[in-house]
Amino acid sequence: MDKPKKLLDSPLLGSLVMPIAITLVAVLIVFGASKLLFTDRSHQDLIYEMKSKTFGNRWVAAFELSKLIATSSIPQEDIPQFVDDLIGIYKASQDPRTRDFIIVAFGVLKSSNALPTITYALENEDDANILFHSIVAIGNMPQDIEFDWDVLIPFLDESDNGLKQAAILALASHHVDKAYPKIATLLTSDDRGVRFSAATALIAPKNKKALPVLKEIMTLNASDGFKPHELTGLKINVLNELEKSKWTEASNLVVEMMQNEKNIQLKTRAEEVYKYLKN
C-alpha cells in the first residue's frame, strides 16, 4: 500500500492549522491523468458517464469532472444533487481510485451532506490515499459541522505519520477541545513533521508545553533541510496563529525571531505580530 506523503513534503504545507485546500493538482494526482482534455459537457453529463460507461471512459469523465469542480463551475443550487450522485457512485464502485476521487471531490465541495460517506470511509476503508483524503476533507469542512470526532481522534495513534499529521491539522482546524490532550503527547514525536504540526495546533489553546517546539520552529534555518518556501511557510503559520490567539506569553519567541531572523519578510512579519501582542 502506498503511503500518503508527509504534509511537510507536499503542497498541503501551506496552512498547518487552517482548513486544508485541495487543488486541481491534487485531483490530477489521484487520477494519474497524462494529458489535458477539453470538453463542454455539463456535470450532469459527466456524472451519467461515470455511472454508465466502461472503466476507461469513466476515468475520462472523472478527469473532466475534476476540472469543473476545481474551477467552481458547478452552480451552487446543483451541488446537493451532485453530491448525492457522487455518494451513489462511491457506494457502487469497486475501484478504490474512483472512491478516492469522490472523497477528494467532497473535500473541495465542502458539503456537509457528504459527512456520512466520509465517516464510512474513515471507519471502513484500508486504502491509505482514501483515508488521507477523507481526513483532509473533514479539515476542509465548514466550522459548524456536526461530526463525531471520536471517529477521527484515533488517527492520532496511526503509525503512518502522514495520516497522523492530517488528523492533527483537521482536528486543530475545527478546534476540537477533547483532541488537544492527545495532540500534546505528540510534541515529543521523533518525526518533526508530527512534532511541528502538534505544536502549531496547540497555539490556539495556549498550551505552554508547545513553547519549546515552537522555539525549535522559529529558529530553523536553511541548513535544517527545508526548502525556502517550506521554511517560510512553517514560520508564517506560527506567527499567524500567535497573532490570532493573542498568546502574549509567547512574545519572547517573537522577540528572538526579530533579533535573529535573516529573512526580511519573516522579520517584518515578526515585528508586526510583536506589536499586536504587546497592545
Amino acid 25: pLDDT: 37
Tens of pLDDT, residues 193-236:
999 999 999 999 999 999 999 999 999 988 888 899 999 999 99
Q: What is this structure's pTM?
A: 0.80
Residue (of 95, 93, 94, 39) closest to 66 by Cα position: 39
Amino acid 37: pLDDT: 36
For residues 22-60, one letter each, b for 16 or more C-beta atoms within 10 angstroms of the residue's C-beta and e for the rest, the string is: beeebbbebbebeeeeeeeeebeebbebbeeeeeeebbb
Amino acid 39: pLDDT: 47
The DSSP line for 122-175 is HHH---HHHHHHHHHHHHHS-TT----GGGTGGGGG-SSHHHHHHHHHHHHHTT
Q: What residue ranges define each of the domains in the chain, with the CATH number in brackets?
A: 7-211 (1.25.10.10)
Report the C-alpha dihedral over residues 19, 182, 159, 135, rounded to 10 degrees: -20
Q: How is residue 128 written as a grid cell?
A: 491509505
Q: Which residues in the chain come in under a pLDDT of 70?
A: 1-60, 63, 71-73
Amino acid 279: pLDDT: 85
